[in-house]
Each structure stands twice: as structure tokens, then as C-alpha cells.
Amino acid sequence: MGSIDGIPRRRYHSLLCASTKPPTERINLVNAVEVFVCHRNTRYALSSFQYNPGVLHPPMEQRTTTFSPNSLIPTWIHELPFGIRIESSIFMSKNFVGTYMSWKLLSPQDDVNITVRPLISCRNYHWLNKANEFLRFESLISGNSVIWHPYEKMPGISTYSNGDFRFSPLWYYDFLYEEEKARGFDYIEDLASPGEFSFNLGNQEKAIVCFTMKGSSGDLFLKENRDINTAYFEAINQEEQRRKSLGTPLQRAADSYIVQRGEGKTIIAGYPWFADWGRDTFISVRGLCIENNRLDDAEGIFLSWMMTMQDGMIPNFFPDQGEEAVFNSVDASLWFVISAYEFLKKVKATGFSLKKDTQKKLELAILSIIENYYKGTRFHIHADENDYLLFSGSYGTQLTWMDSAFDGYAFTPRSGKAVEIQALWINALKIASELDDRWAKIAKGATKSFEDRFWDPQQNCLFDVIDVNGAKNIADPRLRPNQIFAVGGLPFQVLKGEKAIAVVANVEKHLLTNIGLRSLAPFEQEYQPSYKGDVYSRAAAYHQGTVWIWLIGAFIDAWVRIHGSSTQAIKDARKLYFQPLLRHIGEAAISHLPEIADGDAPHCSRGCPCQAWSVAEILRTDLSVLIEK
């Protein structure tokens, strides 16, 4: 992942980041390359870097660069003095761990040389590197490959090229990452360079360098294909055919999040810094897999996560370093029930052939979740015997998707009976009642209690939380988007009639933007207009006005429902709410949608640049909600 101008601005910007225990324990192996073109004894830089305290070097004045955002092979054209034109590109294949880089001379000169100097760190992708005496520069040269093993307990780097390698070890000091500085993190890094590759561009079609993790699938592929040129074009052809089979650019973007976890499958919550989270996985699987007709992937994801269930709970997340799963989420398990139900419906409708016992396992998992939630499980999660609604949490805990915290302080704890949790719970009860009819009575009772207890007559919408911190009849009236799930976004509409219309109207008036829903209405005292600053400032703003893209799916579904789900309503929703959103695709990363945006206009993209549930909910809306009947 990197920037269009090639200047690293985050600690996560790199050319080769590989996972040693997929999908976690990611290592930044190769951060960047320094590239120079030599013509008539004069050097021209094709790369620039920001150094502390803010010096850009080498300067960019001697070149003009245009960028073509091809999602398969991003390509740059560099215009240099004397009419020199050079094309450079970067290519990655999902099937092989590795990054291919190439440079091609487009102008007629024959005396143009290029040097490519790798800048490496070989460190955890969250960390930063400092010059040290332990890094090993030794280079093992064998044919067209060079192998580096910078640290004893870190993976090695295998590099293949059709150029000549010269061993010339150097440390480069004080790279400045401006995004890290703006986010309140450490932002200065030193990078090592074992040497440089040189090429005569006039004598070959393309200068090629491929970086891969030693012993990985990419390394083995390149070892088997002794000729780097052949391997390069074969890898491109294979990946091009694979991506064409995926469909639209957004469907190709969706493919990026579906990854292996051991022998099974899972969904990465977002790139570059998230791993796989239970809540995100089962919100995202609906759009990325189920409605996208990737049912084999969906089955693998369900089977993988079912193995991790404890006490009727799906884990919230797995720590990056492989420790025990963390279960502090009330809604991950409920989203599992929702998505499993939709998956089995799609399987029945399409005739997809499941593995032996998959359906039985899913049904048993659904019933286990409902049974444990009803009688009581971890984090004080239980059904209230008086109103059948679901209680969760205690003072200061954060179990819902609004889980922002800093130094032990939860900004939006929402302990008690949160509105979207009840919508999920009632949906889950109705699903369970199709497997065991004893849950039908509970579902009916919970629905009545929801209608009776959650309505806020003063604001003409739903409370966000009732029985706050266990205090009976204490409600949180702050206007948040969570109530939209009572009308849309789930299989069963919990709130209907005039109240449903009022909820959608309130959300549209105060929370809707052209990229998603605000997490808090602007008139509320705690509203934060932008998401920026240090860690504390951003944590405080995360769910206090910041726009969340993924919520737009539930809103559009709710809007269509209150307008009768007619063909005209679907057409209107697509024009009014869906099409404007599509303009934001690619703002933060090519073909992707970000995690969040500022609450105030112009709603600049913030947070994770590539977010699974943002892409997933747009796909689900497009492929399911907005299909004309």
C-alpha cells in the first residue's frame, strides 16, 4: 500500500508486507525503492522521500509524472529532460506473495540506465525501524536472485530481477511519515539498503524486480520459473484472468478482504491496520460473499468462526500476535445469526451444495447463541425476564459497535439495552423460532416491549439506549443512527407504520450525508465535526458525529421499505442515495471505500482507507436491496 506520488506517508506504506501467520503477524519487509535514471552522466530521480524535519529529497522538479489508476497494474509515465519517457508499474497477485515492479523506456534513446535501491525494514507493520547494529546486510546472490535475511527471527526477503546487483550497504535516516505525525504517533524511521540493481533500459524490453518473502508461494513460483521475464508475464496473465472472473471493480475490491486463516477462511476488517473481527466479518459476509454469490467462501468463513465459539459467543477479534481470542462484543454473535440465516436462504434459492453437516452445524450454532444469550453469558449479557429485551454490559464497558475507548475510558459505553441490539435480538429470535417454535413467544414479547419502551415522543424517534447502566426507565435520548436497524438493514422489520416513517425522516434530516450516516446529530452537545488530531482526539470523535459509510446500506433499505418497496421507490433510492455515494469510491484508495469521514462537509475520508463493511454494504445494497422487483 502506498501513495500515488510514491512518497511514504504512513508506517504501513510499503512494497512488500507479508503475513507469517495469515492473516495476522504481518511484517513490512520492503518499504520502498530509490530509483535513479542516468543519461549522459546526469542522474534524474524517479522517487522522492520526505525526511525530518520536512525536507523533500530528491526534489521533484526535474520530472513530470502522470498516473493511470489501473486496478490490475497501476502505471506511471515519467517525463524527463532530453525527451526521456519512462513507464513504471507495480503489480501484485493474490495467489503469490510478492510485488513485481517494472520500468520501460518509451522514448528512442539507447543510452539510458536505471538503478533501483531497495529500502528495507523487516519489522512488525505497526512498528518503526531505527538504525541498529543487529541488522544483517549480507546478500546471497544466486543466478537472478538475491536473498537477504536482515534479522534472525524474522522472515527473509527473496528478490528476483533481470538486472545486475551490486552490494553496497547503507542506512538511510529520518524518513518522515506525515500521516503518523498528524495522528499523534511516532513518525520517524530509518531504513536499510543492502545494495542496488542496475539496468540498461535501451537493451531490454522491461527492467523487472520482484520482492517476495523467502519460502513463500511467490518465492517458490519464481524459483520454478527461472526466467524472470516469463514469470512476470505469466503472473500478470493469471491474475488478469482471475480478476476478470470477479465482475465489477467493486466486486474485485471485495475480493481483497476474503483471506485464509489457517485451513479456513475469514474477512479482513480493513487495510492496512485491521485484522479479522467477528462483528465486521458477519456484517461484511452478507455483501462480500452471500449476495455476491461467493457461497463457497461464505461457507468456509462460517465453518472457521464456528470453531471459535464459546458460551454462545463469537469472538470480537483475534490479537495480532496470536494470543487468545477476545469476546467483548454483544453484537458479533447476533450478526452471525443474521448472516447465517441469509446464507442458508441463498443456498436453498441457488441450489448450492454444502459440505456434509454444514447446515446442521449452523442451525445448532444459532440455537446455542440464542440459548446462551437468553439465560445469560459473559459481560452481563442476558434477556430481561420482564420484557424479554437483551441487556448487556456494565458501567464503563463498550460491547456494541460504538466501542471507542482510550486508556480504559469508553466514550460511548451504551451499557443497558441498546436500540440496534434489540433489533438484532428480535431478528435472531424470529430466526431461531423457525428452528424451535418455543422462541416465537419470546420474539413476540420482545417486539411488543420494544414498541412500548423505546419510543421517544419528544423527538419522535427511538431512544438510543434504555435502562442505562441497569437503571430502570433511564433512557439515552441522543439522536444516533443505530435506530435505523429497527426499520432496515435486517431480514425482519421490527418497527412499522408511522413510527418507522418518523425514524427514517429524523435520520435523514439530521444524520444523512452523501457518504454515510453521522454517528451523532450535529445539535447534540458532544458532536465532533471532524475526525483528526492525536489518539485521544480521534477516539473521542470516533462515534460522536463521525460519518460511517457502512450505515448507508441500512438507511437505503429502510427508506425503500417505508415507501412500499415499490419499483419506483427502488429507482428513487438508487438515484437519491446510492449514486451520490459511488462518487466517493477511490477517494482514499483505488476502487475501495474508507471506514469513516468527517461529520461536517466536505466529509473528507478518514480512518482506515480500505474498509470491508463499507464495500460490503454498498455491494449488498446494490445486489439485493435495489434490485427492481
d(CA 85, CA 105): 6
Task: Give the cell for residue 83.
Answer: 525527451
Under the banding of pLDDT at 50, 70 and 90, the label for residue 477 is very high
What is the C-alpha separation between 322 and 320, in angstroms, rounded?
6
For 108, counting Cβ atoms within 10 Å of its Cβ (0-12 exposed, 13-18 middle, 19+ buried), the class is: exposed
What tens digit of pLDDT does each residue of 434-462 get? 999 999 999 999 999 999 999 999 999 99
Q: Could you tell me which residues come within 8 angstroms of residue 424 by beta carbon, excluding any fewer than 6 positions away?
A: 331, 334, 335, 337, 338, 485, 490
Kindly state the greatest CA–CA separation across the chain: 86
* Per-residue pLDDT, 34: 98
Mean pLDDT score, 520-537: 97
* Whether the predicted pLDDT of 40 surpasses 80: yes
The average confidence (pLDDT) of the chain is 96
Say whether pLDDT at 323 is over 80: no
Overall CATH class of domain 249-625: mainly alpha
Q: Tell me how crowded residue 534 is: count the other CB atoms within 10 A of its CB.
A: 12
List, by residue range, all CATH 1.50.10.10 domains of the chain: 249-625
Residue 71's pLDDT band, with cuts at 50, 70 and 90, is low
Q: What is the pLDDT of residue 227?
A: 86
> Does the pLDDT value for residue 515 go beyond 90?
yes
**What is the predicted pLDDT for the residue at 525?**
97
Phi, psi at 511, each rounded to 5°: -120, -25
Alpha-carbon distance of 531 to 529, in angstroms, equals: 7
Residues of the chain within CATH 2.70.98 domain(s) are 16-244
Rounded Cα–Cα distance for residues 526 and 538 (Å): 13
**Angle of CA points 605, 608, 611, to nearest 5°:** 95
Return the minimum-mean-pLDDT range out of 110-114, 389-393, 566-570.
Answer: 110-114
Confidence of residue 322 (pLDDT cuts 50, 70, 90): low
Distance CA 217, CA 238 (A): 14
Task: For residue 479, give the nearest of 514, 509, 516 by alpha carbon.
Answer: 509
Q: What is the DSSP letter of 574?
A: I
Asked whether the predicted pLDDT for residue 487 surpasses 80, the reply is yes
**Mean of the pLDDT values across residues 21-25?**
90
pLDDT, mean of residues 146-155:
95
SS3 171: strand
What is the structure's pLDDT at 112? 95
pLDDT digits (tens, 9 = 90+) for 463-472: 999 999 999 9
Q: Cis before residue 8, ω within 30 degrees of 0? A: no
Q: If you classify domain 16-244 with CATH, what class do you get?
A: mainly beta
Model confidence pLDDT, tens digit, residues 158-196? 999 999 999 999 999 999 999 999 999 999 999 999 999
pLDDT band at residue 344 under the 50/70/90 scheme: very high
In the predicted model, is pLDDT for residue 353 greater than 90? yes
> Mean pLDDT, to the nearest integer, of 385-396?
94
The pLDDT assigned to 396 comes to 83
Supply the pLDDT for residue 96. Answer: 86
Cβ–Cβ under 8 Å, residues 420 and 483:
yes
Mean pLDDT across 313-340: 91
- Model confidence at 75: pLDDT above 90: yes
Cβ-Cβ contacts under 8 Å for 480 (sequence gap 6 or more): 402, 464, 511, 519, 520, 521
Helix or strand holding residue 259 (H, E): strand 258-261
pLDDT digits (tens, 9 = 90+) for 253-305: 999 999 999 889 999 999 999 999 999 999 999 999 999 999 999 999 999 99
3-state secondary structure 450-512: HHHHCEECCCCEECCEECHHHCCCCEECCCCHHHHHHCCCCCCCCCCHHHHHHHHHHHHHHCE
Average pLDDT over residues 340-360: 98
Among the residue ranges 163-172, 214-223, 367-376, 586-595, the one predicted with the least confidence is 214-223
Residue among 405, 406, 443, 394 at smallest CA distance from 423? 443
Average pLDDT over residues 609-623: 98
pLDDT digits (tens, 9 = 90+) for 544-555: 999 999 999 999
The C-alpha torsion from 357 through 363 and 367 to 369, rounded to 10°, is 90
- Model pTM? 0.95
Coil, strand, or helix at residue 275? Answer: coil
Q: Give just the sign of the alpha carbon dihedral 284, 367, 422, 440.
A: positive
